[in-house]
Amino acid sequence: MTTDLDTAAPHHARTGRPGRLAFALLTVTTAGNLFTPLSARLAEADGQGTAMAGLAFAAYVGGALPVLLAGSGLPDRLGALNTARLALGLALTASLVMILWPGILMLGLSRALLGIAVAGTSTLAPALMAAQCPPGTDPRRIAARVSVATTFGFGFGAALTALCLLLDPQSWMQPVSGPIWIGMALLALTGLHGLPDALRLTSGGTGLRWPAFPPGTLVFGGAICIAWAVVGLVIAVLPASLARAGLGAHAGFATFLVIVPGILTVPVARRMAPERAIRRGLLALVASYPLIAWGALSGSIAAVFVGTALAATACYGLIHAGGLAGVLMRAGEAATRATAGFFLLAYTGFSLPVILTGAAADQWGQTTALTGFGAVLCLAALILWRHSTISTGHKDFPTRPAETPDQNADQQGQIRAQGPGTPGRQRAG
């Protein structure tokens, strides 16, 4: 299978707009947590407990998993730009559902639609961002741009709703953050017009494409799995603990702080070997959790805020940016499938531990649930630390990715979309 030269020519001829694409990525991910600060109140209003709030939160992953498991070929069928437009359309639908019919069940439906939207955006984002950049751009730079845009979006949505609730506590069923986001989405759809598209197959492709785990990438996936488990816990389970301590109005800011400060660490992660970045991220993650749990149980909002900010440096800075760069450097031409594999493990951590911890909290209490989560977190971090190896002989990776060919993909003609950077001709290493 050959690349469509008619598609390739205009791809390099047009001027890319990384800023406009970044705004679209930010807008989709802003919708992801826009209504999560309402989960505890919506569950209580509907006569439900922490477990139901956790299930509604995890419905996001129910929508994301099919896309990550078999839908990473969709950009080759529809085009990456059209897939991004579809993701924005789904996010618009999800937000309208919550604006028109607020409730815990509607929150679950909304988050399922958002899971589809964000997962589709996550898998195409690196290749589409690469299409906006000059050929041969360092994949760490591309990963950093994607990480900053999506990270700020995940935190901004929760913070915007929390601010609206502080200004008008009586509007918690229908905060003004919803209509504000609708305006953002319309601007983002307009901004996608005319952007260069990522290359895709000319014919014979299939929308079903399983995620890939090239050699050396599982440790990055495992690290993001437990990192996002902490994020999921803060977003879905912690609000109930804060509400019991009379601090429920601060839940949105805790979500903001567990995500957005990670942006400050992205430049640091770019200068490190990816393995070194995730090792430091694991240390920060393990150090942050006791502050989060103790602060929530004791009613110390200062400890919660310090712990969540420290966790953010790991979850969305060192581990997210460093891990994604490490995957892209080893993926070769299988960048889209390898990205899907990375986020498949991320969303597994984002959901399953949240459901189990929420159920444990209802059954045995918040203290037992949060303590058990912390014990599993420490054990998993230790295992990942022992299985990670830091490259020797240099502090940084080369500016262009070393190619790790996916032989099966090459034989079957599955992968021809342009990944971040120019596929290297050097040997892997």
Q: Is the pLDDT of residue 423 over 70?
A: no
What is the CATH classification number for the domain harbouring 328? 1.20.1250.20
Count how many domains the chain has.
Answer: 1
The answer to whether position 110 is within a domain reads yes
Per residue in 368-406, pLDDT (tens digit) is 999 999 999 999 999 999 887 654 333 433 333 333 333
Per residue in 263-301, pLDDT (tens digit) is 888 888 888 888 899 999 999 999 999 999 998 888 888
The answer to whether position 425 is within a domain reads no
The answer to whether position 429 is within a domain reads no
Per residue in 115-161, pLDDT (tens digit) is 999 888 877 888 888 888 888 788 778 878 888 888 888 888 888 88
pLDDT-based confidence at residue 311 (cuts at 50, 70, 90) = very high
Region 329-349: mean pLDDT is 82
Residue 182: the pLDDT is: 95
Q: What is the mean pLDDT of the chain?
A: 79
Residue 71: the pLDDT is: 64
**Could you list the residue range(s) of the whole structural domain that residue 225 is in?**
12-191+208-390
Higher pLDDT, 84 or 428: 84
The answer to whether position 399 is within a domain reads no
The answer to whether position 282 is within a domain reads yes
The answer to whether position 384 is within a domain reads yes
The answer to whether position 215 is within a domain reads yes
The answer to whether position 246 is within a domain reads yes
Q: Is the pLDDT of residue 321 over 70?
A: yes
Distance (Å, whole) CA 422 – CA 333? 9
